[in-house]
A and B are shown apart, each in its own frame.
Chain A
Amino acid sequence: MAFYDSIFDSLGLKEWCGADAKGGPMTMAELLTRSKGTQAEETSAWNVPFPSLDELHASCNAIPRTRDMTSGVEQFFLDIKSSLQFVLDPLTQPLSWLLDGSIWMFVSIPWWLLIALTLVAVQFITRSKSATLLVAFTWLFMAFIDHYTYAVQTMAIIFVCTGLSVLLGVPVGIAMSKNDRLQKAVIPVLDMLQTLPSFVYLIPLIFLFSVTESKLYGIAIILYAIVPVIRLTDLGIRLVDQDIIEAANAFGMSARQKLLSVELPLALPNIMAGVNQTIMMSLAMVVIASLVSAPGLGVLVLRGINNLELGVGLVSGFCIVILAILLDRVSKATLARVDVSQQN
């Protein structure tokens, strides 16, 4: 006799609930009570059970148990899996190619050429001697302790994922800044992407794609890291001085001219701040993504954990830290350069 029996009786729902015969596997709680053999404890106001799914099920078979619900969610995913896969697989396939291709390319360029090229690029973008020196030191140090290949793989992944995040995120941010309703709709999604523990949204991805495919971690990194670039593009465009927008209108600029020659350039410092955060978040995620076969320094950290190789884990962790400092300095130096050229 379960607690809520009388309620279902008095509502005349006994028919609907069906016979007492229990279908399906027993829950752990049921097994426990059965084995203890304790029946019909004294019920008072103090130990009224919360009318949860399991509790109600005890009185009425038609109500599903919590584990029925979770397996329902699972079943739902399994049901839509093939159709989702049908759509998403070809759509995201280029991501796998891009990731595999760039990892292959970065790794197969001779080390001296790659280091030289990065230094030239960093000097050109940042015009900051200290940033370039930092990059040189970092590369040489990692190469010296034989972490060069891992670091290059990590960088290649970050490079591709940040690039795609900017490519996708900036247009979304622009659209949001132009449309208040869209902004209202997208912000909760961004909040969710940013607050969901990274492991949790690996779960549906693992369902959809095979763990050995690079796009799996590519998608995870992009979903996680795209948020700041979207947010700050939206914010940056909204923050552009309204007097200047008015001047642009007064001179008869079209929406396109205004976007390209006024709004985006003036929002650039904010967008760059977003890119900086995006880079840092890709780095954070690429380490976690080693769980789903992302190559790079994260693999070493994972090995450190799995095999209790303390030294391997700590040294590669240290490498990740200096990589983070390097990426932060370089993107901040770029940001500073953008800022200087347009203070008003």
Chain B
Amino acid sequence: MSDVAQNQFNIREYIRENLFPHFMCPGCGHGIALRALLNAVHDLGIDKNQLAIVSGIGCSGRVGAYIDANTFHTTHGRPLAFATGLKLARPDLEVIVITGDGDCLAIGGNHLIHACRRNLNLTCLMLNNEVYGMTGGQVSPTTSADRFTTTTQYGNHEPIFDACKLAEGAGAGFVGREMTLQTPALRDLIKEAIAHDGFSFIEVLSDCTEIFGRKNDMGESAEMVLAQKADFRSVSYGTEIGETFKPRGMKTGVLLRDDRPEYAMAYKRHNEKKLKQ
């Protein structure tokens, strides 16, 4: 067999096959994000024993459980806090956090801004499906305007968070966004995020087909995936409520790259200086 064949990505080497089929609903975008992540890990040649996946609670958080590596399914909103402790104790590990829009921006919003501020070398994938999927479809901080959820029966009227702007503002070293429809691009973005030395935040535009999709009449799974590119998703995505809708107005790809000091290194240098005094 040639080198090419040996290096071919075989996803089964990276998953816990005995847990399959996974629990996610038909068409759920989180499964596509899982593939992109594992392919990135493969391409970077990261040893599974050196990989730690820390996830929160939600359908997104559950994704981590299917990865054949060191996985840590933590509490709702707190995966970044657990990951911070883990990375400081075991800097040799590649620590990747998988979280959801509710997990990361609502209950865990505080942890997110401080993780960005510290700039510890972690990679955070926020799977944004605009909804609390796991608990049956409540409104989340990223639910687009006028969308129906179980807690917005007349359509959502709240302004949303632009998660990437939030991460940029809070000081993340690397910020990017990609949709599951563009899986190879998502894989490449994840590779760049992992390779970046500092806190990397990626917003993955995912789909909750069964709950959000049904409630909002967004068509079948395939239509929902395709709609990421078009009008559905961006009704108010990334814009203020009331602002006119800009199709394809959202930016994807690497949005920010800042080489400011990484937390653990800066911490070490600081301590050494103080101890000398």
Chain B binds chain A: no
Q: Which B positions have Cβ atoms within 8 angstroms of A?
A: none
